[in-house]
Chain A
């Protein structure tokens, strides 16, 4: 969606609101005027405006093969995201995008793929998971390890069940806190990695979650033998424009909005270990 003025939003209407957890909502958006044909690559983001509240960067969390609907999954963590979580069917929002770099779906062909998601990190990865599933035969072994805070915070439950039912994909879920009625895994998401039988020298890893989690997950994957140039992370910083003009999203020399948000662990390692960079 490019406009002559990159700062003008395009209007979209909320078609459906899906409550994923008590504080997370998925919105299905369609164009306010005309046909919805929103093409994007999984990993990219939009700048989403809630009129009267503000604009925030939001990962696009839907299926890249379905340009007829735009999906965003949001957690209420601030003024604007709380406003997003209060939206109802029929409400109008502003969209600028898609911006940024994408998960290396094409480049990962022919290799084993390990997807490591922490907390909300599963949302920006969903499009990548769907894209790989849609072309499953082009990839080697395929795993998802997903860690959430507690069983109540698991996202996309229905899809998780579907994916667990597949015979061509390993799905492992863990939580940090649980009551004893949860009989699944409890503990750090990276503790699930030793269970996966992937060939480290022939693996691409997609990692998304809180920065500390990504740092340790990348370290563990590297210890296992995965090349840090083949471990991909999705980074996050404050954004005001999304198009490389406001300066806010800089991390070292990179603008997260145009050089990212998807970066290799190799590029990020020297930056992630500097305090307050």
Chain B
């Protein structure tokens, strides 16, 4: 049976962390599992955790009046989900639901946040990793925004 420590250490997120930092994270981690259709968190809920998805598929959705539920993005195995625990007011800004059996490592964000305040080295390492994730997601979101596959761009004025 795999220990949580070993599973966690294998996550790409953890590469390069000092052993004492790894221990802190292990201390904040639990194995979680969501069945198909089960919600991980809802928009507006307090954001106390973030997830390292090991297996499965999660959709990020929001409700648009008149359009119903709209999926903004999906997250899968090997990806990190959630950084609202890092940013006040520490509330989820979107809902997440598993579309199939999903196993993840949940990390106690509230606990980790306090640890980061106490140990700025740890804080910097965590923030570096999240900066990378957020950057990637922002890039991807911008591209989605461009709506490149739409029929035509808005008319441009030429000189």
Is there direct touching of A and B in the complex, by C-beta distance under 8 Å?
yes
Q: Does A87 belong to the interface (CB within 8 Å)?
A: no
Q: Which residues of B contact A194 (CB under 8 A)?
A: 78
- CB < 8 Å neighbour of A149 from B69, B77, B149: B149
Q: How far is the CB of A35 from the nearest CB of chain B, in Å?
A: 37
Known: A183-B57, A188-B143, A195-B76. A119 touches B71 (CB 8 A): no
A179 touches B149 (CB 8 A): no
Known: A118-B149, A120-B149, A176-B149. A186 touches B143 (CB 8 A): no
Q: Which residues of A contact B60 (CB under 8 A)?
A: 186
What CA separation (Å) do A186 and B76 show in the bound complex? 10
Q: Does A208 belong to the interface (CB within 8 Å)?
A: no
Nearest A residue to B63 by beta-carbon distance?
A: A180
A187 touches B148 (CB 8 A): no
A187 touches B152 (CB 8 A): no
Q: Does A51 belong to the interface (CB within 8 Å)?
A: no
Q: Does B59 belong to the interface (CB within 8 Å)?
A: yes
A182 touches B71 (CB 8 A): yes
- CB < 8 Å neighbour of B70 from A120, A149, A178, A191: A178
Q: Fill in one digit per residue for B28-63: 1 if any A CB lies within 8 Å of its CB, else 0.
A: 000000000000000000000000000001011100
What CA separation (Å) do A216 and B157 show in the bound complex? 26
Known: A183-B100, A188-B140, A188-B143. A209 touches B148 (CB 8 A): yes
What CA separation (Å) do A180 and B70 show in the bound complex? 5
- CB < 8 Å neighbour of A77 from B57, B140, B151: B151
What CA separation (Å) do A23 and B149 show in the bound complex? 12
Q: Does A4 belong to the interface (CB within 8 Å)?
A: no
Known: A180-B59, A183-B59, A186-B59. A118 touches B148 (CB 8 A): yes
Q: Does B73 belong to the interface (CB within 8 Å)?
A: yes
What CA separation (Å) do A225 and B6 show in the bound complex? 29
Interface size class of B (residues with CB under 8 A): 20 to 34
B147 touches A186 (CB 8 A): no
Known: A180-B68, A183-B59, A183-B99. A149 touches B147 (CB 8 A): yes
Q: Does B144 belong to the interface (CB within 8 Å)?
A: yes
Q: Does B150 belong to the interface (CB within 8 Å)?
A: yes
- CB < 8 Å neighbour of B69 from A23, A179, A190, A216: A179
Q: How far is the CB of A229 from the nearest CB of chain B, in Å?
A: 25
Q: How far is the CB of A66 from the nearest CB of chain B, in Å?
A: 28
Known: A178-B70, A178-B71, A182-B71. A187 touches B149 (CB 8 A): no
Nearest B residue to A187 by beta-carbon distance?
A: B73
Nearest B residue to A178 by beta-carbon distance?
A: B71
Complex A-B: 6 CB contacts under 8 Å: A118-B149, A149-B150, A176-B147, A186-B71, A210-B148, A212-B148
Binding site for A on B (CB under 8 A): 57, 59-61, 67-74, 76-78, 97, 99-100, 140, 143-144, 146-152
Binding site for B on A (CB under 8 A): 23, 75, 77, 118-120, 147-149, 153, 174, 176-180, 182-188, 190-191, 194-195, 209-210, 212-213, 216
